[in-house]
Amino acid sequence: MLPHRSSLSQVIRSRQVIPRWNSAVNSAALGERSSVRQFTVSDHAQRSLRVARKEYELHQSEATANEYLQTASILGLSQDPLAIDIAEKFRRVPSAMARARTIQATDVVTNPTVTPQVLSVADHHAWASGKVHRLRAIVRETSDRPLVWSELSRQYLILGEDDKARRAMKAALQLAPDNVYLTRCAVRMYTHLDEHAVAMKLLHRHNRSEGNPWLLAADVAISSTIGKTSRNLRHAQDILARDRTNSHNLSELAASVGTVELERGSRKRGRELFTKSLIAPTENSLAQAQWCVSNGESLGIPESAWDVHSSHEATALASRSAVDFATMIASCRAWFAEEPFSSRPAALASTACFDPELRASAKAFATLGLEYAPANSDLLNNRAVCHAYDGSTELAFADLSAAINTPGFQHYGIALATLGLICYRSSEPKLGRECYEKSIHFFKNSGETESALRASVHMAIEESRFDLAEGSRVLNDVRDRCRRVDRSRFPELSAVLTVADRTIPTSTLANVSNLINQNVPAKNQLAHFEAQLIRQIPEGLSSAWLSLD
Amino acid sequence: MNDPVEFLGPAERLVGVELVDDWIVTERMKRDPGGTGQSRSACYRAKKGTAIAFVKAFDFRGEEKNRTVDQLNDMTAEFINERRVHEICRDNNFTRVTTIIASGGTEVDGEVVHYIICEYAERSLRELHPPGEQVTPPAERLLALRQVASALEQLHGASIAHQDVKPSNAVKQDGVFKLTDLGSSSCKHLPAAPHDQEWFAGQSAYAPYELLYAERGSWEQRRLGCDVFLLGNMAFTSFVGYSITAFVVGVLPDKLKPFSGYNVRFSEVLPDLIENHRSMIPEIIQVCVPAVIAKEFLALIDTTCHPDPERRGHPRNILGSGSRYGLERYTSKLNQLAAIVGKLGVAA
């Protein structure tokens, strides 16, 4: 079920149900902070309201009316018919209460903490810095506010000040060690900082680590992320099997365990769990299901599941599958606004770099994503592609060099294709052709047919800029081979073919001559880079590589 | 809950009946049915010569006819608890609590009705100093609160927690405010009353947060700590017009509210309560309380009504060896604040 390792982006390659870091208010509204058991409004509440009602009926004064309204408000029964009548009759919302509502509406913590949907690093930093300033002023005055510390930690994370983020989160947890919401926020932070052991320790130390499905879901997901089996997996499976609780509380747990089952090859069990998770999904569990679908798993996502609020990641993944990259970019923008410290939305959006109309956004996303994850090879590669198309081949070459020098880099096929693009755009068609051919050969030998075809289409596009007839021939050949591939699974292939259809007939030599005049890397530099790339290819793969030569 | 207004038991037909010690019931009163207690009761005014008394009659018979034996037992226990608490107060000469005059039973249409006769007060704090209105001088409000604090001090001295302190349960008699309605009270030295099983025995609009979320604590925390909160809440309500519980809980997201159908743990909602308290209450107090005492008033509210019950109580009590929920310091603070605004002639 897991996708091939040379896939487009880390976002497509792997995903786990790691907790989101929503604001406290949003998290409550999404039902993530209620306990497992649901119950009907208790006798005590009903009695309490009835007593207030009697009191009001006996005295009919403003004071008793106020008491009734207050009781209804505390019990969440403001829509009670008598409460509406009383509010209408007395028409007096005390100025203090109105003031309270105003204060809450502008509160820096209780208000939803969505960043503006901008793609400028400077704007993001200015916004987060402003918030840090306000939050620090608050904790200087009153330091016993866990939600302020948690929000401060989040803003520090956006600014990339990881140590300060850790310290602020520590303060929040010291003030509210038993709080599930804050523990999940901390787990999200430590996962983001690649400190999975600390995240696991926090989860295991929590006094409800085995009884709370939200914490269990995080436990299973993080264990999977680090390639381990959660020690609570059996317990989680038992909870899901017993299912005495409501589906929404179990949704993330079911998705988390479902992913483990699919990875283990228990597809039937995995699908059953995803079906359960989608009865009343969270946006996170919906995104997980859509990720599985995008990777070829046949899960039926019911229409009703899409009613879930703020399902930006799921929509982005679904739009990608539907070859609607414009919507994908828009959804990534909203997703990034909610998780501005994460590079995943940027990584996904930057995959649209092949589309001339979306390239500017893709490049902006890649640049922004690299602010938070400077060593992300996907982002570096995608920005290199954008630079190359823009004619900034020096910058493209620099990004690609940085990408292959990132620790654990393995995506040689992709790097060769990007190098081919840079060569073509540097008016070195021969070298470019050679790189693309090696990339295609690499993909073929790795069994990644779709990637090989995609590289071929890109090569056809570039080739046509120098030799229209040859480009068209390559494209026709690829198109024939594409008929044997299930293109619905490979949206980028479909999209790039469309781009090729748009580009090749109108490709003119004038475009080429324009590029020739641009400042390009020296040929020997490119050749040197290619040689460096070849040296990095692991032993097992080098025979296939060398046979091409 | 039984309906204190609609039932038609013998306890409702007491007007004109002569009770113990020659008290004659003169009229039925509109009276607060009293927290969420179990009792089916009717309230009357009685006279003996020129003296007036308050009568609370219990309808055991109706209960027996309509309900199970368990509920009858509960109601009897509630009656006995209220009477015993009143008797303890009388025996201790508590001057700040309405005193029990007599109790007994009388026959109405062949059925026995049990009753308690207490001191009568015409008007409550709610009528005399309507919460939030701008006419009552702040000094008067603070003095009334100080007297309520004294009443609680007396009760706590006998290990009695009132648990339903609110403006309508403080009545003025002979120029002094006294606490009344001990129907929701608990005494450490008496058998547990049925309402002790409830999360909160008083009115939800004024309840301490942790009790709304069914948080269990020690007897002192649940009972005496509750009274400390209710005193602070009464002070807040008196100046602002709304209870602090309504402010802080009312603006929570619906899914975090108590009894909302979602079983929310107190530990889960506590950070939100602290946040609402810290972000709203200082500003509200700044607007509603005279500026000259606003800072000290806020400190009083912070220590009596802090959302975290572990942080409630006067700081000096917490640090020292005295009772954490001791009210003496609050009594003197209210006195002091009343003197400040009184001396400066601060208007409402």
CB contact under 8 A, A99 and B258: no
**DSSP symbols for B139-152:** HHHHHHHHHHHHHH
B129 chain-A contacts, CB cut-off 8 A: none
Q: Is A13:A350 a contact under the CB 8 Å cutoff?
A: no
A97 chain-B contacts, CB cut-off 8 A: 241-242, 246-247, 250
> Which of A49, A70, A145 has the most B C-beta neighbours within 10 Å, making it the best mutation to test the interface with B?
A70
CB contact under 8 A, B260 and A75: yes
Check whether A90 has a pLDDT greater than 80: no
The Cα A284–Cα A279 span in angstroms is: 13
**DSSP symbols for A443-499:** HHHTT-HHHHHHHHHHHHHHHHHH-HHHHHHHHHHHHHHHTTS-GGG-HHHHHHHHH
- This complex has an ipTM of 0.85
CB contact under 8 A, B271 and A103: no
Q: Is B44 helix (H, G, I), strand (E, B) or coil?
A: strand
Q: If you average pLDDT over residues A2-16, what whole number do you get?
A: 58
Check whether A95 has a pLDDT greater than 70: no
CB contact under 8 A, A44 and B199: yes
Q: Which of residues 33-72 of A touch B (CB under 8 A)?
A: 33-52, 54-55, 57-59, 61-63, 66-67, 69-71
* B287 to chain A: closest CA residue: A96
**DSSP symbols for A105-173:** HH-TTTS--PPP----HHHHHHHHHHHHHHHHHHHHH----HHHHHHHHHHHHHTT-HHHHHHHHHHHH
Q: A93 in contact with B at a CB cutoff of 8 Å?
A: no
* B245 to chain A: closest CA residue: A74
The pLDDT confidence band at residue A22, using thresholds 50, 70 and 90, is confident
Report the pLDDT value the prediction gives residue A4, as an integer from 0 to 100: 37
Check whether A33 has a pLDDT greater than 70: yes
* B284 to chain A: closest CA residue: A96
Report the pLDDT value the prediction gives residue A502, as an integer from 0 to 100: 65
Q: B199 in contact with A at a CB cutoff of 8 Å?
A: yes
- Nearest Cβ partner for A96 among B267, B276, B287: B287
* A24 to chain B: closest CA residue: B272
> Which of A36, A39, A44 has the most B C-beta neighbours within 10 Å, making it the best mutation to test the interface with B?
A44
CB contact under 8 A, A55 and B32: yes
Write out pLDDT tens, residues B4-34.
444 557 788 888 999 988 999 998 886 654 5
pLDDT in tens, chain B (348 residues): 344 444 557 788 888 999 988 999 998 886 654 544 445 678 899 999 889 999 988 877 666 666 677 777 888 888 899 999 999 999 999 999 999 999 999 888 888 888 999 999 888 888 889 888 888 899 999 999 999 999 999 999 999 999 999 998 999 988 899 999 898 899 999 998 888 887 788 888 899 999 988 887 888 888 999 999 999 999 999 999 889 999 899 888 888 888 766 678 899 999 999 999 999 999 999 989 999 999 999 999 999 999 999 999 998 888 886 788 999 999 999 999 999 988 877 665
Q: Which of residues 240-269 of B touch A (CB under 8 A)?
A: 240-243, 245-247, 249-265, 267-269
Write out pLDDT tens, residues B202-231.
888 899 999 988 887 888 888 999 999 999
CB contact under 8 A, A71 and B258: no
Among all chains, which residue has been given the structure tokens 């969270």? A282
Q: Rounded to a whole number, what is the distance in Å from the CA of B93 to chain A's nearest CA? A: 31
Q: Which of residues 134-163 of B touch A (CB under 8 A)?
A: none
Comparison of pLDDT for A371 and A524, the residue scoring more: A371
pTM (2 decimals)?
Answer: 0.84
* B259 to chain A: closest CA residue: A41
The Cα A111–Cα A133 span in angstroms is: 16
Per residue in B295-306, is it b (16+ CB within 10 Å) or e — as a string?
eebbebbbbbbb
